C-alpha cells in the first residue's frame, strides 16, 4: 500500500512540476533558462519523491500497530481497503488520510489548474503560433492528468462503496489503474500530436472512401 500511494502521490507532484515547466516555457520564455535550471529541477524531483513518502510513512507506521479482524481483501493489490480489515477504525487514520489527500493530491491539482489558467489567458492574447505551441505542448499533459485523476477517483470510490461493484468491473478497472499509464504514457508523450492527427485523418478518409 505504501509503494502504491507513494508512486501515486509522486505522479501528482511530477504532473505539477511539468505544468510549471510548461507555464515558464510559454508565459516566460526569456526567463526559462534561469527559472528552470538544474537546481530547480533537482528540487522539484526531490519534492516529488520524498514529500509523499514522508507523509504516507506516518500512516503506514500507525496502521502496522493495529490488529486485523479479517484477512481477506477484495482486490489484486493492497489499497485503502486494508483499513476495513482493522478491528476498530481509528479517527487518527481518517485525519491523517485527509491531510495526505490535501497535501499530495489537492494542492498539486490546484497548482496545475492555476498554471493552465495562466497559460490559457496568455495564449488567448498571443498570436496563432503561440496558441498552437501551447496546445501541442499542454494537450498530452492534460490527457495524462485527466486519465490518472479519473482512475485514482475510481479507486477511492470503489473503496467507499465496498462490494457494490461487480467483481468483473472491479478487476478491469483495477488492471487499468496498474497498466494504463505504463502502456499509454510513452504513446501520449513520445508521439507528436500532429502525427497522431495525420494518421487519424487518413483513417477517417479511408473509411469515408470505402463506405
Quick check: 103 and 13 in contact, CB under 8 A? no
| Interval 144-159: pLDDT, tens | 888 778 777 776 666 6
| Residue 89, φ and ψ in degrees, nearest 5 | -80, 140
Mean pLDDT of the chain: 75
Region for residue 162 given its phi and psi (left: phi exceeds 0; alpha: psi -120 to 50; beta: otherwise): left
Which pLDDT score is estimated for 163?
54
Residue from 18, 15, 9 nearest 55 by CA: 9
The CATH number assigned to the domain holding 26 equals: 1.20.1070.10
Specify the number of domains making up the chain.
1
Which pLDDT score is estimated for 111?
92
Provide CB contacts within 8 A for 16, sequence distance 6+: 108, 109, 111, 112
Which pLDDT score is estimated for 164?
60
Domain that holds residue 137: 2-210
Residue range 65-89: average pLDDT? Answer: 64
Half-sphere exposure in the Cβ direction for 209 (13 Å, CA): 6
This prediction has a pTM of: 0.73
Helix 128-161 vs helix 2-27: angle between axes, to the nearest 10 degrees?
160
| Interval 83-142: pLDDT, tens | 666 666 667 767 777 788 888 888 998 999 899 888 888 888 877 777 777 777 777 778
Band of the pLDDT at 74, cuts 50, 70, 90?
A: low
**Per-residue pLDDT at 65 exceeds 80:** no
Quick check: 55 and 97 in contact, CB under 8 A? no
Residue range 20-37: average pLDDT? Answer: 87
Distance CA 175, CA 155 (A): 11
Amino acid at each position: 500500500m505504501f509503494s502504491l500511494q507513494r508512486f501515486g502521490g509522486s505522479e501528482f507532484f511530477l504532473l505539477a512540476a511539468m505544468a510549471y515547466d510548461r507555464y515558464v516555457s510559454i508565459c516566460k520564455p526569456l526567463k526559462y533558462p534561469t527559472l528552470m535550471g538544474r537546481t530547480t529541477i533537482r528540487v522539484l524531483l526531490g519534492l516529488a519523491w520524498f514529500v509523499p513518502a514522508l507523509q504516507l510513512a506516518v500512516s503506514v507506521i500507525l496502521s502496522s500497530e493495529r490488529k486485523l479482524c479479517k484477512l481477506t481483501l477484495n482486490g489484486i493489490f493492497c489499497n485503502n481497503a486494508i483499513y476495513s480489515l482493522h478491528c476498530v477504525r481509528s479517527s487518527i487514520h481518517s485525519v491523517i488520510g485527509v491531510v495526505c489527500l490535501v497535501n499530495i493530491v489537492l494542492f498539486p491539482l490546484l497548482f496545475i489548474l492555476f498554471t493552465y489558467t495562466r497559460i490559457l489567458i496568455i495564449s488567448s492574447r498571443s498570436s496563432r503560433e503561440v496558441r498552437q505551441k501551447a496546445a501541442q505542448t499542454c494537450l498530452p499533459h492534460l490527457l495524462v492528468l485527466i486519465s490518472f485523476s479519473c482512475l485514482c477517483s475510481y479507486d477511492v470510490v470503489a473503496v467507499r462503496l465496498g462490494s457494490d461493484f461487480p467483481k468483473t468491473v472491479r478487476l478491469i478497472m483495477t488492471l487499468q489503474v496498474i497498466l494504463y499509464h505504463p502502456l499509454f504514457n510513452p504513446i501520449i508523450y513520445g508521439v507528436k500530436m500532429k502525427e497522431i492527427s495525420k494518421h487519424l485523418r487518413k483513417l477517417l478518409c479511408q473509411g469515408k472512401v470505402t463506405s
